Amino acid sequence: MHRLVSAAVPLMAALAAFACAAVILVALGASPVDGFRAIFSGAFGSVDRLSVTAVRAAPLILVGAGISISFRASVINIGGEGQIIAGALLSTVVALAFPDLPRPVLLPMVLVAGLVGGGIWGAIPGALKAYASVNEILSTIMLNIVAVQFMNFMLRSPLIDPLEIERGTRIPQTERLSDNAALPTLIGGTRLHLGVVVAIVAAIGAYVLLWRTPLGFRLRAVGHSPDAARAAGIPVKRSIVTALALSGSLAGLAGAILVFGSEGQRMVTDGSAAGFTGSAGFNGIVAALFGGLHPLWTIPSAYVFGGLITGANHLQRVLQVPAALAVTLNGIVVMFVVSSSNVRERMSSLLQARSEFRESESTIASEEVVSS
């Protein structure tokens, strides 16, 4: 019963979102049927499109898996954007510093640098929350802004490509990074690169961490009941910092993958966060909610969202509708999915309350049988 509801509600939300999208398409003078066909073929229509979608999904998987960790510990992390940027910056610095290391050494190093960078950027609001009671929703959002400005500064002066200065164009981007740090392509002729595998492995790792390790046990205990955790001797404050650091580190890994899986093989900014992240820091939250805050379910859920993004871009090209429609579609789906997770929660708590009542009464009944 619970499972059925959990599955049905987000599907209903998706259908409702598509109904809204259909209305918009009609208003724009396009056929909804053609529109949806374009989205679908753009997202999943060929091996090439499937692999583009997978590449778009990889950061969403990572951010989503991280979100699952922090939300399970009852810590809200809206700082994915900033953590992606922090991870990307640190991994870029590492690649710039050691360009000549062989690939088997350098590639793992830049990925770890991504983890560390994002982890530090996540640990800051974690520590602020744990030790100074600063609301993490506010601090993570603020740190997004700080990260963007820091990225712009870094790419405009210390890390800028010397060629850009020479030519006087001053585009805020790094030089082409060492090929030894590039994520190798998995299938020739497609964009599918190792980063997708890394993301899936990391999501599985997040699952193992949450449900198979003492650390994950503590995080979940703190998430459900800080009081009971504290009374049991679990360090609640440290767990909060850990949860946000882990969540941030997965986002940071996504940042490294964005840099070293990019076609330009360099980090570049247009001045905004979304220009670099593609809003993966926010869309990853939605993917995680759509996946029921379960790292493994986040994988297919992120893939669907990746498909929506690539499909909407395709739609725009095929039907010649305004570019804003892609963003709008994304927004509509997000809105419905987020509210559906609320509906799902309320429905399942309703169902749970009912079955709890039943079970508590029947437990009492069974006690009677045992004792008489």
Partner 1 sequence: MAQDDDSPMLEMRGITKRFPGVLANDSIDLTVRSGEVHTLLGENGAGKSTLMKILFGLYQPDEGDIRLNGESVKIVSPSFAIEHGIGMIHQHFMLVPTLTVAENVALGTRSTRWPLTDPAVVSERVSEISERFGLAIDPSVEVWKLAVGERQRVEIIKALYREAKLLVLDEPTAVLTPQEVDEFFEILSGMRDSGHGLIFISHKLREVVAISDEITVLRNGRVTGHTTPGESDRHQLAELMVGREVSLAPDRPPVDVGEPRLVIKGLSATSDRGTLAIDNLNLEVRAGEVVGIAGVSGNGQRELAEVVAGLRPAKQGSVVQINGVDAVGAGARTTRQAGLAYVPEERMRDGAIGEFTVSENLVLIDHGSKQFSSRGLLRFAEIKRHCRQLVDQFKVKTPGLDTSTSTLSGGNIQKLILARELASGPTVLLAAQPTRGVDIGAAEYIHQQIIAQRNLGTAALVISEDLDELLAISDRIAVMFEGRIMGIVAAEIATREGLGLMMAGVAEGSPA
CA atoms of 343 and 263, how far apart (whole Å): 41
Is residue 280 within 8 A of residue 254, CB to CB? The reply is yes
For residues 182 and 240, which CB has a smaller minimum distance to partner 1 in the complex? 240
Among 4, 166, 233, 263, binds partner 1 (CB under 8 A): 233
Could you tell me how many residues make up the chain?
372
- Is residue 31 close enough to count as binding partner 1 by CB under 8 A? no
Residue 313 dihedral angles phi and psi, to the nearest 5°: -65, -40
The piece of 74-82, 124-132, 199-207, 360-368 that touches partner 1 (CB under 8 A) is 360-368
Regarding 346 and contact with partner 1 (CB under 8 A), the answer is no
Radius of gyration of the chain (CA): 22
Binding marks (x or -) toward partner 1, 191..230, rule CB under 8 A? Answer: -----------------x---xxxx-xx-xx--xx-xxxx
Question: Is residue 290 within 8 Å of 337, Cβ to Cβ?
Answer: yes
CA distance 22 to 33: 8
Question: Do 177 and 260 meet the contact criterion of CB atoms below 8 Å apart?
Answer: yes
Say whether residue 5 binds partner 1 (CB under 8 A): no
Give the interface size with partner 1 as a residue count (CB under 8 A): 38
Are 230 and 113 contacting, i.e. CB atoms less than 8 angstroms apart? no
d(Cα 98, Cα 95) in Å, to the nearest integer? 5
Among 34, 48, 345, 359, binds partner 1 (CB under 8 A): 359
Stretch that binds partner 1, among 17-25, 141-149, 266-274, 356-364 (CB under 8 A): 356-364
> Please, what sign has the CA dihedral across residues 274, 277, 280, 282?
negative
Q: CB 214 → partner 1: shortest distance, Å? A: 4
As measured in angstroms, the least distance from the Cβ of 224 to partner 1 is 5
By C-beta, is 236 or 335 nearer to partner 1? 236
Q: Report helix, strand or coil for 17.
A: helix
Does 4 bind partner 1 (CB under 8 A)? Our answer is: no
What is the contact surface with partner 1 in residues (CB under 8 A)? 208, 212-215, 217-218, 220-221, 224-225, 227-235, 354-368, 370-372
